[in-house]
Structure formats: structure tokens, C-alpha cells
Amino acid sequence: MKSKKNIGGCLRYEDFLDIGYKPSDDELVVLFRVEPNKGMSMKEVAARVASESSCGTWSDLKWYPKRVEKLKGKVFEIKGNFVKISYPLDLFELESIPNLLSGIAGNIFGMKAVKNLRLIDATFPKRFLKFYKGAFYGHDAISKIFKRKEGPIIASVPKPKVGFSHKEHAKVGYLLWRGGLDVIKDDENLSSPRFNKFEERVKLLAKYRDKVEKEVGGPKDAFINVTAPTLKEMERRIKMIHDYGFKYFMLDVVVAGFTAVQTATEIARDLKMAIHGHRAMHAMFTRNEKHGMSMLFLAKLMRILGVDQIHIGTVVGKLEGRKRDVIATKECITENSVNEIEGVRLKQEWYHIKPILPVASGGLHPGILPELFDIYKTTNIVIQVGGGIFAHPMGIEAGARAVVQAVEAYKKGISLEEYAEKHKELKKALEVWGKSKPV
């Protein structure tokens, strides 16, 4: 490629360093935590991260199109281990979250120059967000699907998490709905085993839903898992759930992948359905505070993509998630704009992208629900209680009632102990679990 007009200068790692540069509002700004490998300085490693995540490589390129100059990631701030890099939007296919992640969350994690690397957050400019519609319902699912002014939306998962036949699963679902719950949720690893085929489960759950709505009122719904081997099969499952009158479906968003999520959100919008996002596998890369990607950023991507609700942790339950991080994430997906929290979160204006619902699940039982709601400072969330219902000594329906009674007590400002005096199912739950925090 010899034509004069196309020749750049020389593209070296140091060309991706521009400390003190002030990014425009039209650039993507990403916050990383960077730990250099031995013998490497912060600046050397930060430049490599910016280069490898945008348009550079390890060798000093002498032949490249001039437009590359305008596609470079720029390290503009280094504070201890925290590095901010700005990226011109032209670097990306703006309609594609998979493409974004192949850049800012791709090769860089495997570079020998880094000992540890964590993608903490990114500020998305308005021009980027313009390509996304966000969730169809989001926070409004409480009023638009469950016809209530406030939450929580209460779900349960049949436990053991896999093992019920479709008949047993639907019957258990009927008991949970009759016990006062809003939703029967598939577990993350339930899809279509031979003994509980997806199609049979959908049909029977719909039958029991109609029966229980006649008996105790509704609306009742289900988070039925559409995670499938192919996008075509995922779409078929979503459409079947829709045809049987459910408003929601569930997707294991990390396992299925970002192309599947973007496909599912388009189908959901067309069918006016809500997506329950389960985050199974997230802890593989979110848990290590020094390496991987923050749950906050994963949750933010789900809000941009249009998932209506996403698990973000309980603090008090059986799964890890520090209070500071859960709150920062909750604010990120429920507020219209958030400020920066140094080392934890960047500022973000959400414009037209609707707030979505946090999901709290994992080791919950009636005794710790008040503490959970106090941490979230709202009951406008989705709670999921599995083992905390199925291990209730008085049975499944009583277990569901105990959860509903604990929510009622909290919303009335009455202590669980006092409320339990007149609610035997709650009283029994408190006898068994008290306010213990499972591990």
C-alpha cells in the first residue's frame, strides 16, 4: 500500500498515551483497574491496554491508513491502579454490544503485560445509546404486568432446582401461586430435560395459571427459561411462551451470550414481553476484585440491551456481593443518571433508556427480607425465594404464605415477630431460620 495519502507516521504503544487529554462528550470513557506484570510500568501497560482494545498491536506499524489516527484509544488519566481510556465512537459498530466487548473486554485480559485487569465501568455517550431502545417494561412491569403501585414482585423457584417432571413442576407452581406468589421461575439450569420438556412445562403452567387466577385472582406469571442451543430454538420457545399467555420469559444472559440477549430483546419488544435476566456464570469473571468485569458493568449492559430485570445480589443471602457494590449497581440500573464513585462507577446519563428492576435472590427466607429491603431502600424490586420456601416445615404453600406475610409486615412497618403472632406460617419460618444468613 504505497499511496502517499494513506500513510500514517508510526503507530507505537506510546501513541496511545495522552495523559491530561479531555475526552469529548461524544467519546466512550472506560475505567479499568490495571495491575502491571513485573518489570512493566503503569504507563507502559495502560498504553498496551488502550492499543490492544482499539487499533494497535505489539509491533511499531509504519504502514497504516491515516483514519487510524482518529480511532485510537487514549489513556488520559492514571490514578494509582485506576486508568481511564477514551475511545472514539467510530471505532465501533455502534449497534452491536458484542462488537463493543470484543474491543474493550477482549484480548486485553490475556496480555502478558498485565498481572490483573478489571473492566469496572464505562460512560456511554448519548450518540451510542441512541442505537438502543432499552427495556419494553423495565421498572413499569410492577404496574403494567402486575397491576400494582409498588413491589416487590415475588417469585419462587421449584427446589430441587432440577428433578421435577413437568407435571410435578406445574403442580408445585400452582401451590406457590395459591400461596400468594406472583411468579414461578425456572431455575437457571432447567431448560428441557427429558423428564420436564419445555413444551409440556409451558402448557401445564398455563393451565394451572388460569386455574389459580380463577381461584385467587391474578395476574400470575412465570419466568420460563428460553436459554437454548440455537437462536432459532430460543425464538421458538419465546413465541410458545407468548402464545400461552405469559408476559415474561427468562434468559441466562451470560451463558446465552450478548448476541442472544440482543436478539431476545428485539423479539420481546415485538411481542410486548418482559425479560427476566438470570446472570448464571457471571461470578466466573465478576467476583475477583482484581480481574475480570464488574457486575455493575454487566448490569449496565443489560439495561442498555433492554432486559427488564437482572439479578444483582442480596448482600444478606448465600451469594457474594458487597453492599457498596450492590447499591452502586442498583442505582446504576434504576436511576435516570448517576454520579461517579471513584474506583467503583463512572457517571452516566440514561436519556431515553428506561430504569429496570433489580432482582434479589439467593439464600433468602422470610427472616431476612426486612434487612434486604432496608439495604435496597425500596420494595420496588423482584425477590426470588427458593429454598426459603421449599424447606418450610408446613409445606410449599405455607412457605409461600410466610414470604408474603413477611413482605406485608415490612410494608406495614410491623416487626416480623409481632406479625407472626397472628400469622402461623411466618411464625414457623422464624422458628426455623430466625434471621440467619445462609452461606
290 vs 318 by CB, closer to ligand CAP: 318
Q: Rule CB under 6 A: is residue 281 a binding residue for ligand CAP? A: no
- Return the residue matching grid coordinates 472506560: 30
What distance in Å separates the CA atoms of residue 59 and residue 62, rounded to the nearest whole number?
9
From the CB of 189, what's the least distance to Mg ion, in Å?
7
What distance in Å separates the CA atoms of residue 257 and residue 383, rounded to the nearest whole number?
24
Q: Rule CB under 6 A: is residue 254 a binding residue for ligand CAP? A: no
Strands (E) in 158-236, as ranges, are: 183-185, 221-223
Number of chain residues interacting with ligand CAP (CB under 6 A): 19
84 vs 311 by CB, closer to Mg ion: 311
In three-state form (DSSP H/G/I as H, E/B as E, the rest C), the secondary structure along 286-327 is HCCCCCEECHHHHHHHHHHHCCCEEECCCCCCCCCCCHHHHH
Binding site for Mg ion (CB under 5 A): 187-188
Residue 311 touches which member of ligand CAP, Mg ion, none, C-beta under 5-8 Å by kind: ligand CAP
CA dihedral 52, 56, 57, 63 (to 10 degrees): 170
How many Cα neighbours within 13 Å face the side chain of 321? Answer: 26
Q: Residue 60's CB: how many other CB atoms inside 10 A? A: 12
Restricted to residues 349-408, the positions that interact with ligand CAP (CB under 6 A) are: 361-364, 384-388
Number of H helices and E strands in the chain, helices first, is: 17, 15
1 vs 439 by CB, closer to ligand CAP: 439
From the list 74, 166, 220, 278, the catalytic residue is 278
Strands (E) in 215-296, as ranges, are: 221-223, 248-252, 274-278, 292-293
205 vs 267 by CB, closer to Mg ion: 205
Instruction: Please say whether the beta carbons of 379 and 410 come within 8 A.
Output: yes
Q: Rule CB under 6 A: is residue 169 a binding residue for ligand CAP? A: no
Give the DSSP letter of residue 189: T
163 vs 218 by CB, closer to ligand CAP: 163
Q: Rule CB under 6 A: is residue 279 a binding residue for ligand CAP? A: yes
Q: Rule CB under 6 A: is residue 255 a binding residue for ligand CAP? A: no
Q: Rule CB under 6 A: is residue 118 a binding residue for ligand CAP? A: no
From the CB of 275, what's the least distance to ligand CAP, in Å?
15
- 365 in catalytic set: no
Which residue in 27, 52, 77, 188 binds ligand CAP (CB under 6 A)?
A: 188
From the CB of 225, what's the least distance to ligand CAP, in Å?
11
Give the DSSP letter of residue 108: G
What distance in Å separates the CA atoms of residue 360 and residue 375, rounded to the nearest whole number?
11
From the CB of 156, what's the least distance to Mg ion, in Å?
11
33 vs 311 by CB, closer to Mg ion: 311
- 278 in catalytic set: yes
The residue ranges that bind ligand CAP (CB under 6 A) are 157, 159, 161, 187-188, 279, 311, 313, 318-319, 361-364, 384-388
Please give the positions annotated as active site.
159, 278
